[in-house]
Amino acid sequence: MSFDLSEVMFITTANVLHAIPSPLLDRMEVITLSGYTEEEKVQIASRFLISKQLKENGLDPDSLQISENTIHKVIQEYTREAGVRDLERKIGTICRKSAKAVVEKKKRIIKVNKGNLHKFLGIPKYKQDEADKADKVGVATGLAWTQVGGEILAIEVATVKGKGGLILTGKLGDVMKESAQTGLTYIRSRASELGIDEDFNEKYDIHVHVPEGAIPKDGPSAGITIVTAIVSALSGKPISGDVAMTGEVTLRGRVLPIGGVKEKVLAAHRAGIKTIILPSLNEKDIEEIPTDVKKGLNFVFVDNMDEVLKVALLTSEEKKSRAS
């Protein structure tokens, strides 16, 4: 039997684009949907998921009490996703164990809070991202996009005696490695203006490391973070601990736009970051950020590395004032 599909619109979904064959992707119109914010997940759980799981597990609506603070903890420490599938599974687990307690102990109401959540879900699987607020030399905080949302990314740089070698560790992808090489060339071309010994490449090897080496990392958006960390290590100037950044860098020090701004900003907010450096061309993306999140953040939009370093690196006076 034949079917006329000429007027049919096919809609498909995917978590990542790189897994879609190029000839097929070329014939598609791609609509990108960002993941839910933490507060959105809390509201989805409170309004829909809990009642759904209560019904599926044979519990009365009033027999289980879960506070919003508890749901926050479930999201932060037991799930790692852009959507809410795993969150619903965790709520289902709580409901099943509650149903068992109702039957065995003849309790009419089960109260789940942050203190007893581990009895229902076990030991937390994840630790909430929290930025190291200390001002350090050679350590910069970047922002990364992943399939499950945004994350903060610490980039460490150390200099050792050598002959200009660049060592990259932390399971970095090719694009990220190229970004580091581009950044180093930019620094060499501007060494004098940056207050760095112009012959540093003949005296030192530079080691760039991104912790959590078992997790693959790639993309150009760590460019300005890598450059900032290297400049800090070579100049001895500390980097402000409450600043995070993201952006691609060119050989001439221009800062280019990146993707995943909403997810990255939310990650910075969760980690307690106060100032976020973004490419100027990403200023329009700030409209997607929830108002309550934007209120506690200072956004700095930049076009070049000079502007980045002016914000991120501490002057001698700033260093003294922070120490006092």
Distance (Å, whole) CA 45 – CA 71 = 8
From the list 173, 276, 190, 277, the residue with the least C-alpha distance to 230 is: 190
Hunting for tokens 């989805």 — which residue is that? 44
Angle between helix 223-235 and 305-312 (nearest 10): 60
Question: Strands, E, within 124-184: which ranges?
Answer: 139-146, 149-161, 166-169
Hunting for tokens 């990220």 — which residue is that? 176
Choose the catalytic residue: 41, 90, 262, 264: 264
Residue type, 109: I
Show the tokens assigned to 252: 């001439």
Q: How far is CA 234 from CA 21, 139, 198, 210, in A?
A: 44, 12, 10, 18
Choose the catalytic residue: 98, 221, 232, 235: 221
264 classed as catalytic = yes
Residue type, 97: K
Distance (Å, whole) CA 48 – CA 51 = 6
From the list 85, 92, 89, 93, the residue with the least C-alpha distance to 35 is: 85
Show the tokens assigned to 83: 């959507």
Show the tokens assigned to 317: 């006076």
The 8 Å CB, 24+ separation contacts for 282-285 are 282/247, 282/257, 282/258, 285/261
- CA angle in degrees (0–180, nearest 5) for 139-293-47: 125
Active site amino acids: 221, 264
